[in-house]
Amino acid sequence: MWNLENMRVKGLYLGEFPVTGTVTESRVGNGGKVLHYVNIDQPIKMPWRTVESESVILHEGQIEELLDEEYALD
């Protein structure tokens, strides 16, 4: 399943910083990779700054877990 719209997810922003939030849009980007636009629950704390934006983009490989029990990844 590639379309995760309206699902709660847990992932790694930039492959390193944990985030949780709700996917507002899933779309196929350049090169055929799926991109997920995620409204995050809280700011992302990085060693050099805190990301205060409301949403981030996660690539398909950066989604670690679906938090909706009905669709949990195995």
Query: What pLDDT, on a 0 to 100 scale, did the predictor assign at position 3?
Result: 92
pLDDT by residue for the chain (74 residues), tens only, comes to 789 999 999 999 999 999 999 999 999 988 889 999 999 999 998 888 888 889 999 999 999 999 976 665 55
Q: What total of structural domains would you count in the chain? A: 1
Residue ranges making up the domain that contains 23: 8-71
What's the whole-model pTM score?
A: 0.85
Q: Position 29: which residue type?
A: G
The reply to whether 39 falls in a domain is yes
Angle at CA of residue 25, ends 55 and 27, nearest 5°: 120
The reply to whether 54 falls in a domain is yes
Distance CA 18, CA 24 (A): 18
The reply to whether 2 falls in a domain is no
pLDDT digits (tens, 9 = 90+) for 17-37: 999 999 999 999 888 899 999
Query: What pLDDT, on a 0 to 100 scale, did the predictor assign at position 21?
Result: 96
